[in-house]
Amino acid sequence: MTTSPSEPRPAPAPVDLAVVGAGPAGLAAAVTAASLGLTVALLDAGSRPGGQYYRHPEPALGAARPKALHHDWAAFAGREAELRAHARGGRVRHLAGHQVWSVTGSGTDWTVHARTDDAGAESVPARAVLLATGAYERHLPFPGWTLPGVVGAGGAQAMLKSGLVLPGRRVVVAGSGPLLLAVAASLAAAGARVPAVVEASGYVPYARHPGTLLRNPAKLAEGAVHGGALLRHRVRPLLRHAVVEAHGTDRVEAVTVARLDRDWRPVPGTGRRVPCDAVAVGHGLVPELSLATALGCATRAAADGTVALVLTPGLRTSVPGVWAAGEAGGVGGAPLALTEGEIAAHTIAGRAVPPALVRRRARLRAFADVMGAAHRPGPGWTGWLREETAVCRCEEVPAGRVREAVEDLGATDARTVKLLTRAGMGWCQGRMCGPAVAALAGDGPSADRRPLACPVRLGQLAELPALPVD
């Protein structure tokens, strides 16, 4: 078949640094690197900087005070202003609406391949790459979780921040992790009733690390603010409990809440029904590592049960020329991400890292590890799945099929379950079902393996510049 290879295009001059992701880590890194004299390309899928955390209301909504839903909006607004100044000065190219599907290259010769919102393409050459790819929500399925009205806790927060929309009028908040209190407080403040906040973990593990907690007064204050807000709305978290089933036909009408044992196994006979018209459920976040693992960056098992990147104190990955900051190195929240973005910018620019940044990072990382370990899902949670409960929503694979692959067909890991059942082969590429499939396979968490970090139009791949072949 004769195909006409595209004419090699003249390559644009490489920037000193390509930053993937304009959330807290990427934004902080881009402005810091630019202020240290580097030329920077900042690529992000969103139309405005801020990522999932600093989410903007749609302009059409005319929200007067977006900061009312955010902590520390000033930290963001200041950097956004700096970004605009650097962009005007030609030191930063902010490529909004650019979703990166692959990074290729080595050493000081990288190409960042992106798809654009208007079905276009851009390949950005760079001397160094910083991955600030953030995280996505960890979902643990339960019977009824596919009913309309069941939303992710982070998704509920995002709906509030970007659309000022409530997922329902009576919203049960469930799962595990510090986000639950924040979401419940936001929902209550926005006018929803929150009949229950259901937390699978106890808060007891925190008490084993009093030093780490006391060194993080801002975190304690944040918790107190949420707790106070909830008390005002007469909401008390129910510890060591979980939503083990959602009921309803066209939409969720109630949930069953049951007590859990130490391993998160539901205790028989403890279930009770709580009427509601929405459920916001979340089990923390999973680092988004598709680009990093495709490059071969080494990973580690993090305290929260997820897989994160191995990073040096200067935030280098194991691949020379590639740095990472924020959630990719282990979920730790926006203040840590901002700090790490600044640290990475310094080491990329070859500058000494200010000691205050190093201290702040150490303190916030230690806190994140305590939190992560406290909310790590117990192995018994799969006890609330039924054979017919969908595990992979994209490919409609029920738990029974996954168990058959493991027990009868020789699958000993999540990848083989995928090959045998299609779980994880759909649109989300296993981001939704990955943790659940790994748990059912009796496998530890495994690193994302997605050579394409997001879907790409076939025609765009076909139009990549042709490379000569010997």
For position 429 contacting other proteins by CB under 8 A, the verdict is: yes
Round the CA-based radius of gyration of the chain to a whole number and report it: 22
For position 362 contacting other proteins by CB under 8 A, the verdict is: no
Q: Which two tokens stand for residue 121?
A: 């393409």
For position 1 contacting other proteins by CB under 8 A, the verdict is: yes
CA distances from 49 to 12, 20, 80, 341 (A): 24, 12, 7, 14
Orientation angle between helical segments 414-421 and 399-407, nearest 10 degrees: 110
Contact 387, 403 (CB under 8 A): yes
For position 190 contacting other proteins by CB under 8 A, the verdict is: no
> Could you tell me which stretch among 17-25, 61-69, 162-170, 453-461 binds other proteins (CB under 8 A)?
453-461
As a whole number of angstroms, the distance between CA 34 and CA 41 comes to: 10
Give the residue with the Cβ less far from other proteins, 369 or 395. Answer: 395
For position 426 contacting other proteins by CB under 8 A, the verdict is: yes
For position 360 contacting other proteins by CB under 8 A, the verdict is: no
Binding mask 75-104 for other proteins (x = CB under 8 A): ---------------------------x-x
Q: Which of 44, 199, 395, 448 binds other proteins (CB under 8 A)?
A: 395
Contact 429, 456 (CB under 8 A): no
CA distances from 119 to 146, 223, 281 (A): 31, 43, 33
**Residue in this structure with the two tokens 């510090």, named with its chain if needed:** 178
* Least Å from the CB of residue 288 to other proteins: 16
For position 358 contacting other proteins by CB under 8 A, the verdict is: no
> Could you tell me which stretch among 22-30, 136-144, 240-248, 456-464 binds other proteins (CB under 8 A)?
456-464
Give the residue with the Cβ less far from other proteins, 48 or 422. Answer: 422
* Least Å from the CB of residue 441 to other proteins: 9
For position 467 contacting other proteins by CB under 8 A, the verdict is: yes
Q: Which of 294, 328, 336, 438 binds other proteins (CB under 8 A)?
A: 294
Q: Are strands 150-152 and 278-282 parallel, antiparallel or unpaired?
A: parallel
The pair phi, psi for residue 149, each rounded to 5°, is: 105, -15
For position 469 contacting other proteins by CB under 8 A, the verdict is: yes
Give the residue with the Cβ less far from other proteins, 13 or 467. Answer: 467
> Could you tell me which stretch among 153-161, 179-187, 346-354, 447-455 binds other proteins (CB under 8 A)?
447-455
Give the DSSP letter of residue 353: P
Q: Are strands 322-324 and 129-131 parallel, antiparallel or unpaired?
A: parallel
Total residues contacting other proteins (rule CB under 8 A)?
44
For position 352 contacting other proteins by CB under 8 A, the verdict is: no
As a whole number of angstroms, the distance between CA 345 and CA 315 comes to: 9
As a whole number of angstroms, the distance between CA 22 and CA 334 comes to: 12
Q: Which of 48, 215, 247, 422 binds other proteins (CB under 8 A)?
A: 422
The pair phi, psi for residue 361, each rounded to 5°, is: -60, -45
Binding mask 229-248 for other proteins (x = CB under 8 A): --------------------
As a whole number of angstroms, the distance between CA 287 and CA 303 comes to: 13
CA 439 vs. chain centroid, Å, equals 19
Q: Which residues bind other proteins (CB under 8 A)?
A: 1-3, 5, 102, 104, 111, 113, 294-296, 395, 405, 408-413, 415-416, 419-420, 422, 425-427, 429, 450-452, 455-459, 461-464, 466-467, 469-470
